[in-house]
Amino acid sequence: MKPITTFLSYAKSHPFWLLGVTSFTVLIGSLCFFSFYQLLWGNADEALKYGFFAGLVGFTATAIGSFPAFFIKTLPQKVEDSLLGASAGMMLAASVFSLLLPAIEASNYLYPTSKFMTLAVVCFGMVLGVLLLFAIDAMTPHIHRQIGHHGPQVASFSGTWLYAFTIVIHNFPEGMALGISFVQPELEIGVPLTIAIALQDIPEGLVVVLALRALGLSNAKAVLFGMVSGLMEPIGALFGVFVSSGFPQAYPIGLALSASAMIFVVSHEVIPETHRNGHQTIATL
């Protein structure tokens, strides 16, 4: 299909897409604003404080990973694919051990006599996570260096902006998972998850900056943007705390939602990028 040349013309010819993007943006923006207002001037609870702090840890890790790009001009493609493969592995481990298994445990606590309800709640959350990420992926114009253009064919966006949207799709679920993991007062879920996501954010931040520089950005702009991209994690954390603290079932549903969202990102975005250059074995290992 031939790309439509402007955002406006695409919006006019796809009113449901425009409605979806607008509604989703307003929803996320208003919930995050309300959470941030509570954090600064309201009576914020511990979950909101811990979740936001965890998001800031993810942002800091991304910034730390971005900074070495000032001194590293390029990485061999094999090394870059290996770093992304390591990030994918840590995200999968965090999804299972820090999100999915605690979701089953929390759901079992609510329905101790019904294994069907225990698993039904978790499966429902996983389906919601897939639908959420599928909607974001379908609504957002973005690009992969090896796979090419995804989402709406809006040609007026430069390659840099399209790659920026790809980073947003990647980082938001991570932040959402961090926020949800601190909804309960116990810290044995949130702390390990924060450590795992922060560890994978470091190599990922470096790869992101190198990719931005390959798209034509100057060294300073690429590093700055790589650091700023990490802000999606505290924003996602604020959203995650808000949506998962309304009723008892929201916690296991939220954990399962975050798990499936992160698995979606790994399967749909990260792994395909590591398997396009002939280094799939080392990336998988």
| Confidence (pLDDT) at 195 | 93
How would DSSP label each residue in 124-167? HHHHHHHHHHHHHHHHS-EEETTTEEESS-BTTS-HHHHHHHHH
Distance CA 50, CA 242 (A): 13
Cβ atoms of 55 and 237 closer than 8 Å: yes
CA distances from 112 to 43, 106, 108, 115 (A): 34, 10, 5, 7
| Confidence (pLDDT) at 44 | 73
Helix (H, G, I), strand (E, B), or coil: what is residue 37? helix
Q: Which of 20, 269, 62, 11 is nearest to 145 (CA)?
A: 269
| Confidence (pLDDT) at 1 | 45
User: Other CB atoms closer than 10 Å to residue 120's CB: what's the count?
Assistant: 13
Distance CA 265, CA 91 (A): 9
Cβ atoms of 257 and 132 closer than 8 Å: yes
Distance CA 133, CA 269 (A): 11
Distance CA 102, CA 84 (A): 26
Distance CA 197, CA 173 (A): 11
| Confidence (pLDDT) at 7 | 65
| Confidence (pLDDT) at 156 | 47
Distance CA 31, CA 149 (A): 30
Q: Which of 3, 10, 56, 32 is nearest to 233 (CA)?
A: 56
Rounded to the nearest 10 degrees, the angle between the axes of helix 46-66 and helix 15-40 is: 110
Q: What is the pLDDT along the chain (285 residues), one digit of tens a residue?
A: 445 456 677 677 777 777 877 887 888 888 888 888 888 887 778 888 899 999 999 999 999 998 888 888 778 888 888 888 888 899 999 999 999 999 999 999 999 999 999 999 999 999 999 988 888 877 776 565 555 555 566 554 455 555 666 777 778 889 999 999 998 877 888 999 999 999 989 988 888 888 788 777 788 888 888 888 888 899 999 888 888 877 888 999 999 999 999 999 888 878 888 888 888 888 888
Is beta strand 148-150 parallel, antiparallel or unpaired with respect to 142-144?
antiparallel
Give the global pTM.
0.82
